[in-house]
Structure 1
């Protein structure tokens, strides 16, 4: 499979992740992280199981794949995605995005240790350049005041996302990406719904007004991105796919300028960060 196919899928995943970030930020103006996240999961479960019924042949259903994608649902979708919601709410989209996108380092290291992937110097250099670019891009946004302890949320999200890419890759050796995504999302929805009931926060499963539509849109965008990412992982190396999928700030900031220009403005950091990310993509996909 040519590298540009899964590279394109990974970049599309980053784009949809960026769209989701903008919509989440809008929805959180009048609602809570718990509500937004729960709606996100409901949308994902409905869409993915519909895709399974319409697009997935029966022979891809595998009991052996279930443990991998159940674990992926708990670690990546419950742990990673929920703490990403909290990070956007607590420290702001710019800071959250920059720290969460440190996850390629985690994935690349685990891919070497657990999957035996060979990470060449261009791949390593490209990963470092992309991460540097995303941090520079994200730091160009509006400064948001926050408490130091709140940084635990984006760092936790980065760790979860970095780890779950390896688990998904292992699961894809047993089943197809759409079925795996559906199991992943269903696990997360069941776990989070039980948490809301047990904690007495059942009102979090109710939402009205504009926030509802923002969260539904974010759910469609984010879950489309996750599905594209899993397909990309089924076609290419973790150490190549994950860094490319982590370029969402490259899309977040232009969309912020278009739709939320009163919040962030173009600066030299955006220009330099964009150049760094382009250079990183070239290093990853052009010189392996």
Structure 2
């Protein structure tokens, strides 16, 4: 394995571990009375405060120099899809089915990326990809039958939320990879544009929905948990962008590594969420099969 590939692996494992832990904070925050939109706003705000402060210190007035409108729009698109829509669905998923199940289902992202490539680009479906899809579907089936996750129970319809989040993140990651390769943009600059667009979309959504509902009027405890999730996500996003920005940082390498996050979430949930979730053998085996399937799909 070359040095460049080792760097890609290391950078991709950081979001896997951090996004494996973040759902624990998310679940605690939701259980304390938090709201999906509130959680999304807090996490993105924490990220942006740190990103823009870092950009001001590191780059100053030279930040974003030489960027074309096309590249900016690519990251704006990724931010609206992945940060705004994706974050809301992921928090609803954590609340409905639990951190462990939600994280496992999110790792079906490569399946959606493959389907997009088949439908839009006409890419062929190889034997390993086909095998990966079958294994991934078996893993999803095991999760659906596992009787694990949130102790209060969930329905099959609730699985729509993490599946929707997986689809939005798949689209966003492909867009981010394209943007990182099309222009001399740094990881910090990329995530700043991405998350700023996401925040604007979230605020627009809040203003457009029922104004009688104050999404920020939530218990103080929830802000502590969601701030913790935001700090973890801040580091994870920069590391992900840095991995995608390397020449060897192909989606086929980065996405499967990031997709191992549910294996970390299961360990964290088994230790830290015993009062809220049930981690059954079906959850463990199902999550493992989804990770294996995701790897095969992207080889």
| TM-score of the pair, normalised by structure 2 | 0.79
Q: 1:152 aligns with which of 147, 155, 160?
A: 160
Instruction: Work out the CA distance in 1 between the residues paired with 2:4 and 2:297.
Output: 13
Structure 1 residues 157 and 191: CA distance shift in structure 2, 3 A: same
CA RMSD of aligned residues (A): 3.5
- 2:47 aligned with 1:44: yes
For 1:270 and 1:208, locate their aligned partners in 2 and report how far apart those are by CA, in whole Å.
31
Q: Distance in 2 between matches of 1:176 and 1:111?
A: 27
Pick aligned residue for 2:227 from 216, 221, 224: 216
Corresponding residue number in structure 2 for 1:248: 261
Could you tell me how far 1:142 is from its partner in structure 2? 3.5
Give the Å deviation of 1:260. Answer: 1.7
**1:225-276 deviation line (CA, Å, top 9, x unaligned):** 1221111111211121111111111111111122122344665446656876
Partner residue in 2 for 1:226: 237
Q: Conserved in 2, the CA contact under 8 Å of 1:107 and 1:239?
A: no
Q: Find out whether 1:161 has 2:141 as its counterpart.
A: no
2:76 to 64, 70, 74: 70
Gaps of 5+ in 1: none
- Aligned length, in residue pairs: 286
Q: Match for 2:203 among 180, 193, 204?
A: 193
Looking at structure 2, the residues matched to 277 and 131 of structure 1 have their Cα atoms a distance apart, in angstroms, of 8
Task: For residues 183-223 of structure 1, give each alpha carbon's deviation from its aligned partner in whole angstroms, at most 9, with x where no partner exists.
Answer: 11011111111221232156213444221110100111123
How far, CA to CA, are the matches of 1:242 and 1:119 in structure 2?
18
CA distance in structure 2 between the aligned counterparts of 1:170 and 1:74, rounded to whole angstroms: 16
Structure 1 residue 151 displacement after superposition:
3.0
1:8 aligned residue (7, 10, 13): 10
- Contact 2:256 2:291 (8 Å CA) reproduced: no
SS in 2 for 1:203: coil
Q: Distance in 1 between the 2:58 and 2:121 partners?
A: 29
What is the alpha-carbon distance in structure 2 between the residues aligned to residue 15 and residue 118 of structure 1?
A: 32
SS at match of 1:2: helix
Residue 177 to residue 128, structure 1, CA distance change in 2 (3 Å): farther
2 CA distance for matches of 1:83 and 1:239?
25
CA contact (8 A) 2:260 2:291 kept: no
CA contact (8 A) 1:69 1:183 kept: yes
